[in-house]
Structure 1
Amino acid sequence: MGFLFSKQVYDPTHDIPDLTGKVVIITGSNWLTTVAWLIHCSAGIGIRTAEQLALHGAKVYLACRSEAKATAAIAELEKTTPSLKDQNRLVYLPLDLSSVHSAKEAAEDFLSREDRLDVLINNAARGIEEYQLSKDGIELTIAVNHFGHFVFTQTLLPLLKETAKRRDADVRIVVVSSRAHLGPGTTKFGSLEEMNDPQGPPAKINSISTKMSRYGTSKLMNVLFASELQRRLDAENAAITVISLHPGAVATETAHAADLPWYAKIYIATLAIAPLQGAFTSLFAATSARVAAEREKYKGKYLVPYGEIAGPATAAAKDPVLAKTLWDTTEKITAGLLKATDQ
């Protein structure tokens, strides 16, 4: 865990280039994003990421479920940073990641508004929560953290690919995962039944360890999705860089209020970083000139604060066969759900 105490080598104030004319989507960029875990508590990361990108000239879509929270976040940012007011750099995009149909509709909504997409940051997540099925019949943590983002990204891919063909384009897809992907979650992704596994006996279906296992599984899915997406884009010679990352341990109101073990709360209270610092690795992945200059080095990689390539450290997270299995199963399930919805 040495990277938790690593020297800061990235500062968005100086290191983000001019993004004028660029268009970005960040999922889960409410004022408080509902994620909390010992080493990944991202309430505030999305909005701090959006703020920095907008300050450097980008038009940023805040893709989230709550219009009230999104508009409140935009109003607060424009109040505290007057240079953003009336610039149309922060825009709300309705997105409910718990529904694959909603995820597709949100992407199609965006496609009707813009003719380019330079950066997609899949930041939203459901954290350590009780076992529940989505209306699509998918375990809710996996539905939000993986399935919704899968459909959202897939629907946006044609525009991302077209943008990548433009002169001087630098298109990136950033997937916010967590060090929790190293946890004891399942690696059985061959069917919906396996993905819906509560990962604990009925009597302990909502114990803290079982909830953490489900969350860790969803974060493993994030890493595998990023690596498989990069492999597929490379096979098409699409000039898009895909990066997954762990943002660090972030001190937020959500983290302090979460149902965490005592040692996690002590860790957050004493060693966690501020939300802006928690956004640094996402900002590095999305904008760093170093990534542009050494694209082959960063493609499909997993980063830790602040922008360091690390691991992933488990065999499962590096398994290309498992990544393909996850992709193929997800594709089959989502295709069936979307077809049934369209009928």
Structure 2
Amino acid sequence: MALVPCTFARLTPSQALSFAKRSMSTSKCTPRVVLLTGGSWWGSSSPENVGHHFIQQVFRNIHSEDRPLKIYICTRAAPPEGELTRFVKRQNSSQSQGNLDALDPHSTSLDVSLHHLPLNLLNPNSIRNCASEFLSQESRLDVLVLNAAIAPNKRESSGLIIPQRRGGESDESSPEELELETGMMTNVVGSAMLTKLLEPALLKAEISENEVEKPRIVLVSSELHRRLGDLEITPQSVQKLTSPVGWKGMQTYKLTKLIQTIWLYAMQREYKDRIDCVAVSPGFIPSTSLSRASSFSARLFMSYVLHFMPFASTPEEGGRKVYQGAFGDPSEWKGTSRHNGAVYLKNGEAVEPDHRVLDEALGSRWKAWIDNAIATITAPIAALVSPAPNVLIVGGTAGIGAALAQKLAHELPPSAHITFVGRNSSAAATIIASIRQQTSGASGRGTGPVAGIEFAQVDCGRMSDVKRFCEQYSGKLKASGRHLDILILTAGKLSMKGRTLAAPGSKIDAKMAMHFYSRMLFIRQLKTFFVPQSIVMSVLDGKHSDAHSKRIYWDDLGLAKPGHYGLRSAATHCQSMTDIMMQGFASARDPISDDAHAVSLIHAYPGFVATGVLRRMDGPLLVRLALAGLSKLFASSPETCAERLIEGMVQCHRSTLTNVHTEGNTGETTGAGLIQWYNLDQTKIIPKQSVEQKLIEQVQAHTWQVVDAELEMSL
């Protein structure tokens, strides 16, 4: 039976609530499992949001004879331990004081139970994990309430893109690549993606013994979806409407709410009579957390001025309206909706939405576009490498390297293979377990976690150990016929001691061995596998490096002479020689590979990062304590650093791919392609002057002389 048009025109709000209350008291009309996005009352000074008041409405209208009801609250921040249980008890106690039919607050079998699932609608993996966790606990879903949304105050990228026309809109005017800003991702694509993943549970709730009530999708819409005038709202126009040029926060919010409603009506036409789709306008509610992204002054104005205007609604009224949409009896809804059409409720009455919502052709186009977005949405880094990329992270058992490994495991496709090397095998096992736990069972992510993630124990201070690993790794690549897409070099050591030899019999300093010499050896040994477009990034200090520094001892680059070595001079030499060697690898005189045509060589500065290296450093206790204190105050986390470095890496490689056939100031052509080098300050590319070839040859000669001498010594 198709969803019947609805109206509460004959009922006052109190009468409508009374009817909904009676409807819930019958086992046939009471949904058993509800999933709500948004609605947290914790972590904020004010619980004023529609989702929170929707939950309160459930408690106000529950009866002791009703079936148990489970509500899953999906939010970014987890509730404090025990908060959900305390909330249930408070609600039960409050209702029992004035309602003889209410639950016994001391009962051990609660009629309403609350559960939390982490959900960030800006993160596809978080969406997949949320759906996967729900489906592992529940086989059916009776009511899905899409309440979470954002009204952004400034344009911010979600960090996600839709690659070049893979299904959906195929018109030549479609953009080759669409960057999703936060409003489009949160309100449209993220919510639709969650719905798609939960669809099996919704459809299973359609058939239930002794029940006739259909499962329901409730979208918290907005009357602002009507306020876009004559703008062309099509998949082809979305690039222009959400681009940085002329971007307006309120217009984007209106746009996303219109597209959401168009999509919901298209879904109803597809579901026909299997699932009921209801859009609810909760009214203009200026005091909710919807405006959390607005400026402080704007939030004050909305909460303490607009909140008291006669045209404004309260969050409690909004929660009541959403409750009506979720639990109202469709048989009482009469009015304007068409056959197999969704219902749009305004103030408890069914009304016609914007005419574009009712356009079936437009709805089909938008649904195809959203389905395509869900299927192809990817992090930018995944769009720049091969479909089954190989990644090698040197120094990946702690700090920045470990954070990069976990971040890339989420952002690269399931077919990726990640190898990270270091000395601590127990730390590596923990990282691998964490990555597998976070990526496994993610519905819609291919077959589950990344195809392979493994650890190799390597002492990066010993050139012989580095060469041994590179020969083994090269053999695996050659045998599989694959290449190396991403090489990240982060191994390092922080010590306050003077010049310390890397190994017995060695002639190089331990810090310089890890920060410079071994990294260059990794590149030299693996460079033939940088085909056809690879990324090499050495994380050290590409911001403060100066190849023309007067503090460099050009006659003693290894700082072996007495009086030359110091913490500052060692850092200066490693940083500056890295710059020069990257330019050398990019030059036609020392090509990366005859077949490589778009390689990016990056020397990156990570900023001040709170890594475990401060705890392990050699030096006076007071110095270590002082650095640890400063890191707590000013340092960014390894996770934040990893996000920034990947963003910067994407910018560099996009520049390389854009200029493949153009010789630039920061790279040289090699064959038919371009090898480019970059200096990076987290996310910002820093232009640096090239050094003369004579200087490159001097540093190259020194580097390979030292490295080869170390290798010969180990034979």
- Normalized against structure 1, the TM-score is what? 0.80
Cα 1:216/1:253, change in 2 over 3 Å? closer
Q: One-letter code of the match for 1:12?
A: L
CA distance in 2, matches of 1:29, 1:180: 21
Aligned AA (1:23): V
> For residue 62 of structure 1, what is the aligned residue in structure 2?
73
SS in 2 for 1:107: helix
Alignment of 1:119-134 (within 5 A): 119-134=143-158
**Quick check: which has more Rg, 1 or 2?**
2
Q: Is the 8 A contact 2:286 2:306 kept in 1?
A: no
Among 254, 262, 273, which residue is 2:313 paired with?
A: 273
Contact 1:30/1:69 (8 A) holds in 2: no
Q: Determine whether 1:47 maps to 2:119.
A: no
Report what 1:98 is aligned to: 122
Indicate how the Cα distance of structure 1 residues 74 and 123 shifts in structure 2: closer, same or farther if over 3 A, else same.
Answer: farther
- Are positions 1:152 and 2:169 aligned together? no
Q: 1:175-220, CA deviations, whole angstroms, 9 ceiling, x for partnerless residues?
A: 111011112266132376356434x52xxx4xxxx21100000100
Match of 1:188 among 231, 234, 255: 234
- Check 1:139–1:23 CA distance in 2 against 1; reply closer, same or farther (3 A cut): same
Q: 1:342 — aligned with what?
A: 414
Deviation of 1:284 (Å): 1.1
| Larger fraction in helix | 1
Check 1:129–1:142 CA distance in 2 against 1; reply closer, same or farther (3 A cut): same
Q: Deviations over 1:45-68 (max 9, x none)?
A: 101112322552421110111103
**Residue in structure 2 matched with residue 332 of structure 1 by the alignment:** 372
How many residues align? The count is: 318
Matched residue, 1:242:
277
Tell me the residue number matched to 2:671.
Answer: none
Separation in structure 2 between the aligned mates of residue 33 and residue 228 of structure 1, nearest angstrom: 36
Partner of 1:197: 243
Per the alignment, in what secondary structure is the counterpart of residue 134 of structure 1?
Answer: strand
What is the CA-CA distance between 1:316 and the residue it aligns to?
A: 2.1
- Note if contact 1:139-1:195 (Cα within 8 Å) is conserved in structure 2: no
User: Using a 3 Å threshold, how does the CA distance of structure 1 residues 336 and 139 change in structure 2: closer, same or farther?
Assistant: same
Inter-partner Cα distance in structure 1 for 2:301 and 2:133: 43
Q: Which residue of 2 aligns with 1:310?
A: 351
2:250 corresponds, among 208, 212, 231, to 212
Deviations 1:7-42 (A, max 9, x none): 5355536523137671000101112799xxxxxxx9
1:322–1:33 distance in 2 versus 1, CA, 3 Å: farther
Question: 1:182 and 1:21 mapped to 2: Cα distance?
Answer: 32
Q: CA deviation at 1:341?
A: 3.6
Q: 1:44: Cα distance to partner?
A: 1.7
Q: TM-score, normalised by structure 2?
A: 0.40
Unaligned runs of 5+ in 1: 35-41
Given that residues 71 and 115 in structure 2 are in contact (C-alpha distance below 8 angstroms), is that contact kept between their aligned partners in structure 1? yes
C-alpha separation between the residues in 2 aligned to 1:11 and 1:218?
Answer: 29
Q: Is 1:223 the counterpart of 2:261 in the alignment?
A: yes
Q: Secondary structure at the match of 1:259?
A: helix
Question: In 2, distance between residues paired with 1:323 and 1:43?
Answer: 33
Q: Report deviation, 1:342.
A: 3.0
Partners of 1:45 and 1:279 within 8 A in 2:
yes
TM-superposition CA deviations, 1:302-330 (whole Å, max 9, x none): 11012x11121x33232222211111111
The reply to whether residue 116 of structure 1 matches residue 151 of structure 2 is no
**How many percent of aligned residue pairs carry the same amino acid?**
21
Amino acid at match of 1:28: G
Matches of 1:195 and 1:252, distance apart in 2 = 27
Q: Which has the higher contact order (CA 8 A, sep 6+)?
A: 1
Which residue identity is paired with 2:318? G
- What's the counterpart of residue 172 of structure 1? 216
| More displaced stretch, 73-82 vs 18-27 | 73-82
Instruction: Give the counterpart letter for 1:143 in structure 2.
Output: M
Q: Give the secondary structure class of the aligned counterpart of 1:129.
A: coil
Unaligned runs of 5+ in 2: 1-7, 63-67, 94-102, 162-179, 379-386, 388-411, 416-715
Distance 1:240 1:12 in 2: 23
Which amino acid in 2 is paired with 1:240? I
Q: Deviations over 1:269-300 (max 9, x none)?
A: 122233221112211111112x1455997640
User: Does the 8 A contact of 1:32 with 1:43 survive in 2?
Assistant: no
How far apart in 2 are the matches of 1:119 and 1:267?
Answer: 32
Q: Give the secondary-structure state (helix, strand or coil) at the position aligned to 1:166.
A: coil
The alignment's C-alpha RMSD in Å is: 3.4
- For 2:181, the aligned partner's letter is E
Deviation at 1:259, TM superposition (A): 2.2
Counterpart of 1:320 (choices 360, 377, 402) is 360
In the alignment, which of 319, 324, 331 is matched to residue 284 of structure 1?
A: 324
Q: Name the amino acid aligned to 1:156.
A: L
Distance 1:152 1:76, change over 3 A: same
Paired with 1:54 and 1:123, the residues of 2 have a C-alpha distance of 18
Alpha-carbon contact 1:247-1:279 (below 8 Å) kept:
yes
**What SS does the aligned partner of 2:13 have?**
coil
